[in-house]
Homo-oligomer: A and B are copies of this chain.
């Protein structure tokens, strides 16, 4: 293998695949990035047990002397590529995978690894399940994945549940104390063979680092055990979680006894301040009191102090209410939203309450209260 590539193309490619490199693994080849060069261009691949990322650099931007393949230690290769002095980079693989990297007056020689030991990617190209704007998929992930469970007692809850029905893609995430729902119209290609998947939350966090915040369409392929997201020159694979996702549709209240409409950032700031006194505690519990036209947030940690604040409300309707909740859950939800105003709907002191933006129905957060007596 011997080829020349613009430095910036190589920097972009290694930065993208690098997110799939195993940091802790007993299999040396998985600490590497695989480079493969043939007449179709240069392909870089990295993989851990959960996700794989492949980036393709088209031959038009390359100068290929001859093809070949090698695996290079990612940590080192990425650092070197980023620091190379010139605008172009020449990569040449010699005997025993010894790889020479030349750029300007700098010449590195790295011990490479056998590319045939590198795992194969799942064979699933082609059968597009749906397409979605890159920025929309990014937003859907950001507005749902924070609600997944971080404990492994119920593994399916560490994933986001994807459902595709009648052209509507729905994401559900819950850690059993709170729930996030996010829906959007997507472009479906025929009748999908698979229309449900539980995608690991960690995979989505990594995927979001790669997805661009632009309006280009990405293709998504779902199979029984793999998810593939395709952008222009990049393939992102994630394994799926096995098991049955719980039916969460029943727990979303259909009516409310008290509803408050208020400025999202005002409420967020108020709860953030209250949680300063409680976040060191186990439950981070703050209290909301609604009576007449007044909505008050308060917290009390006797060994530290207490806080109370009246929040300005745009509209307050329904019965008086006192309710306690984990401030973090409400803060997470309010930070994930982009709307100016939110509607908070309560059905009782011990019943879950709902936070929604006032400007659309496609997002819903449900939070369970905390018993404080």
Contact = CB atoms under 8 A, between A and B. Distances in A.
Contact of A303 (B83, B109, B111, B308): B111
A57 interface: no
A156 to B, nearest CB: 37
Interface residues of A, number: 32
A335 interface: no
A111 B276 contact: no
Given A76-B277, A276-B76, A306 B109 contact: yes
B304 A76 contact: yes
Interface stretch (A121-129, A170-178, A266-274): A266-274
A106 B273 contact: yes
A73 interface: yes
B85 A273 contact: yes
B83 A304 contact: no
Given A79-B276, A80-B273, A84-B273, A108 B73 contact: no
A23 interface: no
B277 A106 contact: no
This chain's copy number in the assembly: 2
Interface string A339-356: 000000000000000000
Interface in A300-320: 303-312
Contacts of A305: 76, 98, 108-111
B83 A272 contact: yes
B309 A83 contact: no
Contacts of A80: 273, 276
A107 interface: yes
A306 B108 contact: yes
B107 A307 contact: yes
Contact of A107 (B73, B308, B312): B308
Interface string A129-163: 00000000000000000000000000000000000
Interface in A246-275: 269-270, 272-273
Interface string A62-79: 000000000001001001
A238 to B, nearest CB: 31
A305 B307 CA distance: 60
A4 to B, nearest CB: 18
A73 B309 contact: no
Contacts of A270: 85, 106
A257 to B, nearest CB: 25
Contacts of A372: none
A188 B246 CA distance: 77
A80 B270 CA distance: 11
A105 interface: yes
17 contacts: A73-B304, A76-B304, A83-B269, A85-B269, A85-B270, A105-B310, A105-B311, A105-B312, A106-B307, A106-B309, A107-B307, A107-B308, A107-B309, A108-B273, A109-B307, A110-B305, A111-B304
